[in-house]
Amino acid sequence: MKSSSGFALAAAGILGLSSAIPTQLQKRTGESPGDPFYVTVDCTGTEAVCNADCFAILCLDAPNPTQWDAKKGDDKRRLSGYSSTDLKADYEKRLSWGIDISDEVLDKTGRSMEETVMANAVQGGEGEIIVPVQPDQNMQLGARVIGQMKHEGVQDQLWYYRVFNNFGSGAPYCVALQADYAPDVEICTREDKSADDPAKIAFTRVEPVPEEGHAQFHMIDPENIGDRWTGRYWQAGPSKKVKREVEDVKQKAEKSEA
């Protein structure tokens, strides 16, 4: 399993996946995904939000870089199923919408929907991976990213690449994403995850809102290779576990050696 967005840049020789980016590579035009602006995301005090974003990029193939879509945030939120109130509804109501996260967990994580691709991106909206976070941290990080984009000169329809900074040990998925030599994807399917880990609480929209009714969602399972960002609403399909695929390869190797 790998994050296609990060590896595509590395393969093109454009971006090393180390957290340290060579100075000579920082000036870009942003006119293509292979030539994005680098936007440093300061995670100080918002580590959980950064951790959610890094999780989606590393484990679910959420795109990075993305393309700024100025003044389209509200449209993208309607498509993604974003709501400022849904996670405040009672558990049975949330469950009827497909959001299976307990009140105990939400009291810890927060009840604000973090759109990990970001609503200001062309790639936002349909297929958005959503993770519950604290509302104040969500707003704070969003304002920082927009401010940094403006500082770097990112304009409408130009591409930008998020580089996460100042996250310490509070964002293990960012540590894994920006490991010195290559992203550490093993973290994505480890079994010792807490109930509030992004892998346990991420969800995505299933379909457009019907004329009457409420948006429906699907709880993400990182071990299911069908649960990845596609830029489209999630659709049910054959469930295939990543770990099972790895075990099958090992069994075939053992048989060939016998």
**Is 225 a residue whose pLDDT tops 70?**
yes
**Which pLDDT band, with edges at 50, 70 and 90, does 212 fall under?**
confident
Average pLDDT estimate for 143-155: 95
How many domains in the chain?
Answer: 1
**Is 16 a residue whose pLDDT tops 50?**
no
Average pLDDT estimate for 133-142: 97
* Res 209: pLDDT: 66
**Which pLDDT band, with edges at 50, 70 and 90, does 23 fall under?**
very low
**Which pLDDT band, with edges at 50, 70 and 90, does 57 fall under?**
very high
* Res 240: pLDDT: 53
* Res 207: pLDDT: 82
Range of the domain at 24: 4-257
Q: Tokens for 104, please give them.
A: 């105990």
Lowest mean pLDDT: which of 165-169, 208-212, 245-249?
A: 245-249
* Res 34: pLDDT: 93
Lowest mean pLDDT: which of 137-146, 170-179, 185-194, 246-255?
A: 246-255
**Is 101 a residue whose pLDDT tops 80?**
yes
**Which pLDDT band, with edges at 50, 70 and 90, does 20 fall under?**
very low
Torsion of CA 104, 106, 107, 112, to 10 degrees: -170
**Which pLDDT band, with edges at 50, 70 and 90, does 219 fall under?**
very high
Provide the 3-class DSSP secondary structure of residue 37. Answer: strand
Whether residue 65 contacts residue 33, with contact meaning beta carbons closer than 8 Å, is answered with yes
* Res 29: pLDDT: 85
Q: Are strands 37-42 and 159-165 parallel, antiparallel or unpaired?
A: parallel
For residues 116-132, one letter each, b for 16 or more C-beta atoms within 10 angstroms of the residue's C-beta and e for the rest, the string is: bbbbbbbbbbbbbbbbb
**Which pLDDT band, with edges at 50, 70 and 90, does 124 fall under?**
very high
* Res 122: pLDDT: 96
Nearest alpha-carbon partner for 115 in 33, 195, 204, 178:
204
Q: What pLDDT, in 10s, does the model give residues 162-202?
A: 999 999 999 999 999 999 989 999 999 999 999 999 999 99
User: ω into residue 198 within 30 of 0, thus cis?
Assistant: no
Cross-strand pairs, 40:
163
